[in-house]
């Protein structure tokens, strides 16, 4: 549950649901190189998120015909992470005022997950845009917290439009630059230091 304290490693921590995990240059896992992950759930038993900046070339309409016209440009599937790549998670940005709707689970503000088994026609007036992710990123109990402590991730506040940017390849440096200071300098870190 968002905002609830939880004991991890003997210390109380706040839920990071709705936060961005931005891969640091120290993170060597190729699944997450220069990724920006939106945490859609963070509970004592673990965490779940979707990678926001790995677009595929597969149009949403080719896989989920009825949802295609609600998909934000680029209207393609995204690689949400290495776990269960045959499953789909849909993020939606709702139009204000955000109301409780069947099939919508709020993550932060107007952004939440949307059940793809719901008839999209019923939600059309309430949904501003969607993004569909094949697979997700998942962490077991304490695993994400350890990765953060090890310097693999920056934990940053998300803006409502982060999950729906038109140029997802630019999201990693964009999020870092808006932090200012030394964090903004990381946005210019070369992908391969050996080529520098």
- Dump pLDDT digits (tens) for 91-118: 999 998 888 888 999 999 999 999 999 9
Query: What pLDDT score does 192 carry?
Result: 58
Is the pLDDT at 2 greater than 80? The verdict is no
Query: What pLDDT score does 10 carry?
Result: 39
On whether residue 43 sits in a domain, the answer given is yes
On whether residue 194 sits in a domain, the answer given is no
On whether residue 195 sits in a domain, the answer given is no
Mean pLDDT, residues 61-83 taken together = 94
Mean pLDDT, residues 10-25 taken together = 83
Query: What pLDDT score does 3 carry?
Result: 39
Q: Judging by beta carbons within 10 Å of its beta carbon (0-12, 13-18, 19+), is residue 70 exposed, middle or buried? A: buried
- Dump pLDDT digits (tens) for 152-187: 999 999 998 999 999 999 999 999 999 999 999 998
Query: What pLDDT score does 5 carry?
Result: 39
Mean pLDDT, residues 85-90 taken together = 95
On whether residue 72 sits in a domain, the answer given is yes
Is the pLDDT at 4 greater than 60? The verdict is no
Query: What pLDDT score does 99 carry?
Result: 80
Number of domains into which the chain is organized: 1
On whether residue 63 sits in a domain, the answer given is yes
In eight-state DSSP terms, residue 175 is H
Query: What pLDDT score does 8 carry?
Result: 39
Q: Judging by beta carbons within 10 Å of its beta carbon (0-12, 13-18, 19+), is residue 150 exposed, middle or buried? A: exposed
- Mean pLDDT of all residues belonging to the chain: 89
Query: Residue 103 sits in a domain of what CATH number?
Result: 3.40.1740.10
Give CA–CA dist 36/191, Å, rounded: 15
On whether residue 16 sits in a domain, the answer given is yes
Q: Could you tell me how far CA 116 lies from the centroid of its own chain?
A: 17
On whether residue 103 sits in a domain, the answer given is yes
* Residue 164 belongs to domain spanning: 5-187
Residue scoring higher pLDDT (33 or 102): 33
Q: Rounded to the nearest 10 degrees, how much is the dihedral formed by the CA atoms of 76, 110, 34, 59?
A: 0
On whether residue 120 sits in a domain, the answer given is yes
Assign 3-state DSSP to the chain and report helix, strand, coil percentages, each to 5.
25, 40, 40
């Amino acid at each position: 549950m968002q905002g609830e304290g939880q004991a991890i490693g003997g210390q109380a921590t706040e839920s990071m649901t709705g936060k961005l995990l931005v891969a640091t240059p120290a993170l060597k896992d190729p699944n997450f190189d220069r990724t920006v992950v939106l945490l859609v759930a963070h509970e004592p038993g673990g965490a779940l998120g979707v990678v926001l900046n790995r677009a595929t070339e597969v149009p949403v309409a080719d896989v989920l015909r009825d949802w295609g016209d609600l998909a934000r440009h680029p209207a393609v599937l995204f690689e949400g992470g290495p776990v269960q790549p045959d499953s789909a998670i849909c993020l939606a940005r709702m139009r204000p005022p955000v109301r409780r709707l069947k099939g919508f689970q709020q993550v932060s503000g107007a952004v939440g997950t949307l059940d793809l088994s719901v008839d999209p026609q019923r939600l059309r007036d309430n949904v501003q845009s969607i993004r569909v992710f094949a697979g997700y990123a998942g962490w077991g109990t304490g695993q994400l917290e350890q990765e953060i402590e090890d310097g693999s991730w920056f934990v940053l506040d998300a803006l409502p439009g982060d999950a729906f940017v038109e140029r997802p390849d630019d999201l990693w440096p964009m999020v870092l630059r808006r932090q200012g200071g030394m964090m903004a300098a990381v946005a210019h870190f070369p992908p391969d230091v050996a080529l520098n």
